Amino acid sequence: MKSKRGSMDTLFLSMRHINKQYTGVKALDDVEFSIREGEIHCLAGTNGSGKSTLVKIISGVEQPEAGAQIEIAGEPAGQLNSMDSIRHGIEVIYQDLSLFPNLSVQENIAMSELVSSKTQWVSWKKAHTIAVEAMDKIGVSIPLDQTVSRLSMADRQLVAICRALTKDVRLLIMDEPTTALTKKEVDALLSVVVDLKKKGIATLFISHKLNEVMQVAERVTVLRDGVKIGCYPSSELDDKKIEYYMTGTTTVYTPYHVMPDTSGAPVLELDGLSKEGNFKDISMSVYPGEIVGITGLLGSGRTELALSIFGLNPPDEGTMRIDGEPVVIDTVKQAVSHGIAYVPENRLVEGLVLDQSVGKNVVMTVLDRMLTASKCIDVQQVDRSIARWVRELKIKVPSVDSAVKTLSGGNQQRVVLAKWIATEPKLFILDNPTVGIDIAAKTSIHEVIKHLAAEGVGVIIISDEIAEVLYTCNRVLVMNRGRILKQFISSEANEEEIQRYIESHAV
């Protein structure tokens, strides 16, 4: 296959002797990396493996140490800065997409081009032309006047790609592009990537959902602890091989088929719970020691239901019981007083105070329990509590005084878990608890959840990943358009059966 720029076997980017060190930690150790024109390439590794650092160097955000050799299109590139990288046709779409939610699709797509033109006045005609041309490149059609905040995650991803294509893109780097997408949306995104390949545009995926990316990736480069383990043709890899290369070990996923004691009252019981525009007539129960999974398409009302139980989205009608007693929960304070904890999907925005220390994040939910008789904070008790939860949750951190934003995604999620486990909840709700974290961290967090259930805590896990709820939960509930449509007993079901059911009821 030939691109408009040359042979698909021609290297677009070649990097050798890439080293990077941060305060004594070697993020990259003599790494080599290359990507061909029009190639679809996957960069794999656990959190902390060096993936993000390598991408920052490619995009000019970070500089490698002396001795690095970087060539773009066969020419020495020297030390890249961000503008150099863009001029060479390298664009990065980060996990948060960096879109302006209050602006229109047209404004978001054309923004970069309009800003770089340095004109004093905005030409809306030009903006329209830029947006239409970008969409035409990948054959999509999204209403240009639609506010981005009202789009699905899949359409937002396409808007971000269109924005990147307003430049003369030669390499598109996508950081966790499939994290919040359904299977159907992932397939649509991957077809767009294949179309980009036909135009000679290379794509570099950074992803934890390797089974999806492997549908189209031609090669996979694996990093572990800052070292390149190897670069492999995707045809030679399977899930177990990649996991071994990434971690140095393989994990056995043990299904959770421990049956809870249902002789007493459920820790949570919902009867006809409804919220207009969110969910309708939800009836379900969770017993002490039981793990209940909720899955389904995005927009099915799962998160809205969780927020209602936690007092952030009070229902319009229906009954909620805790330990058999009717309760009305309109605030988070009331939810916590009834023994409910909630870990949100977006840990960076809703779950953590990123600039604060690990220690302060861990104890912020229980500080009111650590007061002396004179209502002052008992510093010794605080220190003991922090040390306990860092130890029990196995949070890897150089110091509890380190800012939580410096931790890996898996360790940040452990901090969120510690913060709420410290409240000693009777009901723990987790919304996509392992989104955006690697295999090793995911397994560790599942073990924490199972340990909580073994101690009698009722658990609800909301997840897009069928495997996660199937192998971690006793029961799996499928939601669609605000209703619970079906219940699967985990020990009697399989992934394919649940996936078929979800897709057969898709809008």
Evaluate whether 304 touches 275 at the Cβ level (below 8 Å).
yes
- Chain centroid to Cα 437, Å, comes to 7
**pLDDT reading at 357 higher than 60:** yes
Q: Specify the higher pLDDT residue, 438 or 371.
A: 371
pLDDT digits (tens, 9 = 90+) for 308-344: 999 999 999 999 999 999 999 999 999 999 999 999 8
- CA dist., res. 85 & res. 66, Å (int): 19
Cβ-contact 240, 252 below 8 angstroms? no
CA distance 126 to 280: 45
- Domain 11-247: state its class: alpha beta
Q: Is the pLDDT of residue 250 over 70?
A: no
pLDDT for residue 248: 80
> pTM for the whole thing?
0.64
Q: Is the pLDDT of residue 1 over 50?
A: no
Say yes or no to pLDDT of 5 above 60. Answer: no
Q: How confident is the model at residue 253 (pLDDT cuts 50, 70, 90)?
A: low
Reference 103, options 168, 147, 43, 44; nearest CA is 147
How confident is residue 4, by pLDDT bands cut at 50, 70 and 90?
Answer: very low
Q: Name the percent of the chain lying above pLDDT 70.
A: 93
pLDDT of residue 180: 61
H/E stretch holding 31 reads strand 25-36
Q: How is the chain split into domains, by residue range? A: 11-247, 265-339+425-507, 352-424
23 Cβ neighbours under 8 A, 6+ residues apart: none
> Burial, 317: exposed, middle or buried (Cβ in 10 Å; 0-12, 13-18, 19+)?
exposed
7 has pLDDT over 60: no
Strand ranges for 276-362 from DSSP E: 279-286, 291-296, 317-322, 325-327, 340-343
Q: What is the pLDDT of residue 347?
A: 74
Tokens 């598109």 sit at which residue?
Answer: 172
Task: Work out the angle at residue 491's Cα, subtended by the Cα atoms of residues 485 and 492, and round it to the nearest 5 degrees.
Answer: 60
How far apart (Å, rounded) are the C-alpha atoms in residues 227 and 204? 18
What mean pLDDT is predicted for residues 206-217?
Answer: 78
| pLDDT tens digits, 45-74 | 876 788 989 999 999 999 999 999 999 999
Per residue in 137-192, pLDDT tens?
888 889 999 999 888 777 888 898 899 888 889 999 988 777 666 667 778 888 88
Backbone φ, ψ for residue 484 (5° rounding)? -85, 115
Percent over 90 (pLDDT), the chain: 52
CA distances to 5, 11, 18, 373, 429 from 286, rounded to whole Å, are: 59, 55, 51, 38, 11
265-339+425-507: what CATH class? alpha beta
The pLDDT, as a whole number, for residue 3 is 39
- Quickly state the pLDDT bin for 6 (edges 50, 70, 90): very low
